[in-house]
Amino acid sequence: MFLAKDATGALAAIALAMAFGSATPAFAGPNSWRDVLFGDSHNKDDRRSPAPPVARYATDDGARFVLDRSGGVTLMKFEDSQEVFALSPSQAPRGDVIYRNDLGEPVLRATRLGGLTLFYRARSGGTPAALDGAASSLRLQYLPPALLLQRLAQASVRSSRAAQHLIEFDAPDVIPGAQAVYADAATVAAEAMVRMSRGAGGRAVLSRIKRVVLTNGRKGSASIKGGEVRITINAQDGLAGRPSSDSIILAAAKR
């Protein structure tokens, strides 16, 4: 009885507004009188503001990462890691997009409405990620040749500390102008060494590694032979032209 009476009152208010107009602008909130009667659920369609091309996201379990979709290759970097992942998009049902790493594993799922779900590592079941603010682009900047030597030395120090013995880094055939790609590849290789040092199997492999060599090739890849890790780089592909730490660790596990 009370619902019917309320509905009658609402309809009467609508009739008065239609007859005499309104001297004040529409109030913030519902966009039409249909919203007044039925709520705004009918507006929850595809008309959502697009996500920024570069932004920071966070999950309920504390993961924070930057997603850069401003260029031809989608890039992603976790707040607590030095590695930048190059992701490849593939179409999924309902217009969604799945972003995969260089091993073909799903890392992110983006819905057509802009929602994101993180699947990486311990989150195989998926964890929603929400927009958390602005961020700087992850695109590579020009790196002078002298700074490449410094970055190789830094990667050597970090890897040697993880392995508890000296691991040398060498890039004997760097393509001029591509120093930034080689420097990033060295950073990623060092990240792989640190991750390997956290497990017994990885430490056993790491104990035999003496040298990391960055070389040119047609496709980014990693291989381990004896005490040498060989990182193959296609500098023309930028960050997508070198293997991820996951690929390096997988190569170590196969040896």
Q: Read off the CATH number of the domain in which 126 is found.
A: 2.40.128
208 falls within a domain: yes
195 and 111 in a common domain: no
Q: What percent of the chain has pLDDT over 90?
A: 68
213-249 confidence digits (pLDDT tens): 999 999 999 999 989 999 999 999 999 999 999 999 9
Residue 121: its pLDDT value, please?
A: 75
Number of domains in the chain: 2
180 falls within a domain: yes
248 falls within a domain: yes
Domain ends where: 134, 168, 199? 134
Residue 31: its pLDDT value, please?
A: 42
Question: Across the chain, what does the average pLDDT equal?
Answer: 84
63-73 confidence digits (pLDDT tens): 999 999 998 89
156 and 232 in a common domain: yes
Give the distance from CA 67 to its chain's centroid. 5
Residue 15 has pLDDT above 60, yes or no: no
Residue 7 has pLDDT above 50, yes or no: no
Distance CA 156, CA 211 (A): 9
166 and 130 in a common domain: no
Structural domain span for residue 150: 145-254
Domain ends where: 106, 134, 162? 134
pTM attached to this predicted model? 0.78
Give CA torsion, residues 139, 141, 145, 151, to 10 deg: -50
For 230: left if phi > 0, alpha if psi spans -120 to 50, otherwise beta; the answer is beta
Predicted confidence band of residue 41 (pLDDT cuts 50, 70, 90): very low
Residue 154 has pLDDT above 90, yes or no: yes
25 falls within a domain: no
72 falls within a domain: yes
- Average pLDDT rounded to a whole number, residues 9-34: 42
Residue 192 has pLDDT above 70, yes or no: yes
Residue 1: its pLDDT value, please?
A: 44
Domain ends where: 134, 169, 192? 134
Least Cα distance to 241 among 218, 225, 224 occurs for 218
243 falls within a domain: yes
176 and 83 in a common domain: no
242 falls within a domain: yes
Distance CA 246, CA 69 (A): 21
Q: How would you class 132 by CB atoms within 10 Å of its CB: exposed for 0-12, middle for 13-18, buried for 19 or more?
A: middle
| Residue found by looking up tokens 């019917």 in the block | 4
